[in-house]
């Protein structure tokens, strides 16, 4: 609930052109948010709030005044520990805003098949779906698009079973 309020407030302050840059900055901060050194720096009583904000902006590679203000609010309210959850919530909202979603394909595919899979999923969900291949030694493929809650698995064994079943029915 708190994460939702912070995400909604941030998005409400940004125009559409700023959203992507700010999202990418928050993603950079979220990426290192579990590092022990980062946690020590953000919670350090030795550093002033301005120094912490400057550090966060350097990590984010973004000095947008609205992002700077957002970091100040998180630090004042001692909510920097929520940055990972804010990032995830922001990702879902930005993906919905731009109707573009990212997903993963586990298995072994060539680039042409991956592109065809992206096209078919994009058409089915009336959105832009970008898939990243994560080669894996599974017997088939598995497609996962988190924000849309899509998970499709195709197993070689199951295809073989279905084929044998169809042959037996034909006999």
pLDDT at 165 > cutoff 80: no
pLDDT at 160 > cutoff 70: no
More confident residue, 115 or 152: 115
Q: What percent of the chain has pLDDT over 90?
A: 59
Per-residue pLDDT, 171: 67
pLDDT at 156 > cutoff 80: no
Structure tokens at 81: 């520990």
Count CB neighbours of 142 within 10 A: 16
Alpha helices (runs of H) in the chain, residue ranges in sequence order? 2-13, 16-32, 36-43, 49-60, 65-76, 83-98, 111-125, 156-170
How far apart CA 37 and CA 171 sit, in angstroms, is 68
Structure tokens at 143: 């497609």
The SS3 call for residue 143 is strand
Per-residue pLDDT, averaged over 38-49, amounts to 90
Per-residue pLDDT, averaged over 30-49, amounts to 91
More confident residue, 49 or 163: 49
Q: Which residues in the chain are classed under CATH 1.10.520.20?
A: 2-95
Per-residue pLDDT, averaged over 77-105, amounts to 92
Q: pTM score > 0.95 for this model?
A: no
Q: Out of 3.40.50.280, 2.120.10.30, 1.10.520.20, 3.60.110.10, which CATH number does the structure's domain 2-95 have? A: 1.10.520.20
Per-residue pLDDT, 159: 65
More confident residue, 108 or 165: 108
How far apart CA 88 and CA 72 sit, in angstroms, is 20
How far apart CA 157 and CA 147 sit, in angstroms, is 29
CA 13, 18, 20, 22 torsion-angle sign:
negative
């Amino acid at each position: 609930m708190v994460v939702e309020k912070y995400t909604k407030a941030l998005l409400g302050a940004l125009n559409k052109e700023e959203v992507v840059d700010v999202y990418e900055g928050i993603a950079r901060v979220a990426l290192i948010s579990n590092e022990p050194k980062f946690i020590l720096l953000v919670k350090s009583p030795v550093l002033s709030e301005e120094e912490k904000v400057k550090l966060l902006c350097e990590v984010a590679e973004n000095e947008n005044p609205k992002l700077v203000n957002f970091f100040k609010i998180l630090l004042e309210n001692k909510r920097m520990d929520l940055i990972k959850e804010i990032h995830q919530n922001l990702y879902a909202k930005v993906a919905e805003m731009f109707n573009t979603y990212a997903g993963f394909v586990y298995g072994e595919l060539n680039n042409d098949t991956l592109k065809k899979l992206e096209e078919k999923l994009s058409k089915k969900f009336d959105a832009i779906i970008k898939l990243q291949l994560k080669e894996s030694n599974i017997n088939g493929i598995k497609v996962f698009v988190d924000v849309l809650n899509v998970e499709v698995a195709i197993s070689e064994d199951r295809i073989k079973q279905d084929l044998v079943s169809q042959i037996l029915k034909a006999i």
